[in-house]
Structure 1
Amino acid sequence: MALRTVAGSMARRQPIFANLCLQSFVISASNHRRQSVTYPISSTGFRFSIRAIQETTTNPITPMIGDNTKQSQASPTWKVKMLYDGDCPLCMREVNMLKERNKNYNAINFVDISSDDYSPEDNLGLDYETAMGKIHAIMSDGTIVTNVEAFRKLYEAVGLGWIYAITKYEPVATMADAVYGVWAKYRLQVTGSSI
C-alpha cells in the first residue's frame, strides 16, 4: 500500500520511474522478502536506489520420508517429563502452577500416572507402583531423576531454578531429600489416596 502511494506521487514527477515501479513490483499480503533495486530514471545518469517488497512463492515444508523422520520423532521437544499423581490434591496444586509457568517455556511434558492411559513403555518402564512411590522426572536424554533433584530440574525448566538452587549443596541436599522421603512415604495417608 505504501509503495503504491510512493509510486503514485513519483509518477506525477517522473513518468518513467512510475512505469518501472508499477510494472516491476507486486504487493503481496504474504511471503515477502526485501530486495534493493536500482533503476535509471533519466538520461542524465542519476540513479535512485529503492527498497521494495516483491512477491515470492514459497513451498510448504513437508516432512522427509525415511530415517530423518524417525530421528525427528525420536527427539522430544520437551526438556523434562514430569510423572505426577493426578489424584493427589496437594500434588495437583504444584502441577497446576508448573503448567501455568510452562505455557511460556513449553519445556515440561506432564504425564498423569493415575490416568487409565498411563503406559510404562512410554516412560522408560516406570510402572505405576514405582512412579507412585516418589516423584520421577525423565530428562529428554533419557536420564531418570527422583526426589528433590526432580523438583529442581522441573523448576529450572520453567525459570524458577532459584527456588531449589540451595538443594544442590550439602548438607541441604541430604536434609531436603530426607524431608521429601518422609513426605513421599506418608503422602498417600495424608491425602487420603491409595495405590
Structure 2
Amino acid sequence: MTELTVWYDGGCPLCRREIALMQRLDRAEAITFVDVNKADGGSCPIDRADLLARFHARENGVLLSGAAAFAAMWRAIPRLRWLGLVAKAPGMLPLLEQAYRVFLRIRPRLQRLARKAEQNAA
C-alpha cells in the first residue's frame, strides 16, 4: 500500500474546496491531508512558505512537488487513478508541470474571486 501525505493551504479557498473534494473521493482514507496553517513545524518536511507556494505530497517517503504531487494524489484515489497513471506516461508530467506553472500565475486572482464568493455567500 502506498503511503501518501498531502500538504495544503487551509487558508486558501481554492485549496480548501479542492481538498474537500479529494477527501470525499478518498473513501479508503489512503491519504493523510495536512493543513499547513494548522500543522506544527515538525509535521512539515520543508519550509512553510515553500509548502504554501506549491502543492506538495510525500509518496512512500519521496517528497513531490507541483504536478508530480497532484499525480500521486490522483493515483491514491480509485476514481482518479487513471489520471495519475496517464501522468506517468512519457512526456506527460512535464506538460502537466507547465500547466501547473500557468495556474500558479493566475492563482492569486482566482483566490480573490473565491474569497469574494465566500464572503457574499455568508
Give the structure 2 partner of residue 166 of structure 1.
86
* Bigger Rg, structure 1 or 2: 1
- Where structure 2 has 5 or more consecutive residues not aligned to the other structure, the ranges are 116-122
Cα distance, 1:78 vs structure 2? 7.4
Contact 1:133 1:185 in 2 (8 A): no
Report the AA paired with residue 18 of structure 2: E
1:78-123 CA deviation, whole Å, 9 max, x = no partner? 7211101112222222211111122x212111111123xx223222
Give the structure 2 partner of residue 121 of structure 1.
42
Alpha carbons of 1:111 and 1:172: their partners in 2 closer, same or farther (altered >3 Å)?
same
- 1:148 alignment partner, one of 60, 63, 67: 67
3-state DSSP of counterpart to 1:183: helix
Give the structure 1 partner of residue 30 of structure 2.
107
- Where structure 1 has 5 or more consecutive residues not aligned to the other structure, the ranges are 1-76
Structure 2 counterparts to residues 31-46 of structure 1, below 5 A: none
Relative contact order, higher structure (CA 8 A, sep 6+): 2
Give the structure 2 partner of residue 44 of structure 1.
none
Contact 1:78 1:106 in 2 (8 A): no
TM-score by length of 1: 0.51
1:44-71 CA deviation, whole Å, 9 max, x = no partner? xxxxxxxxxxxxxxxxxxxxxxxxxxxx
Give the structure 1 partner of residue 14 of structure 2.
90
Distance 2:2 2:82 in 1: 20
Structure with greater helix share of residues = 2
Distance 1:153 1:121 in 2: 22
Identity %: 24
Report the AA paired with residue 102 of structure 2: V
Q: How many residues align?
A: 112
